[in-house]
Amino acid sequence: MIEQVAVKLQADPRTLERDSLRLYLEKQLRLVETELFTLAYKYGVHTVTELDEMIRAGKFHEPETFEDYFRFDYLEAEREKLQGLLEEL
């Protein structure tokens, strides 16, 4: 499919593929960062480490934050992975 599109656009197939992959990864990164921002705003923190510290300090109760905590951690890992992939391109 990429070959066909590249021919029609008179573009190099490798460039088209790399640019398409970059756009996809950037879109995924924006989605992850949006969700991270939402969680950070909800708890008034910047990182999952800060959230953990607030839980330990008793500002939030663990049962109330359990799912968000693990989601936050997962999203931070996803962000790092996506950023790494973008750097490799």
pLDDT of residue 62: 85
pLDDT of residue 6: 87
HSE on the CB side for 64, CA within 13 Å?
9
Residue linked to tokens 């997962």: 74
Taking only the tens place, the pLDDT of each residue in 47-75 is 999 999 999 999 998 889 999 999 999 99
| 59 SS3 class | coil
Give the chain's mean pLDDT.
94
Q: Where are the domains of the chain?
A: 23-88
Tokens of 84: 């790494």
Taking only the tens place, the pLDDT of each residue in 13-44 is 999 999 999 999 999 999 999 999 999 999 99
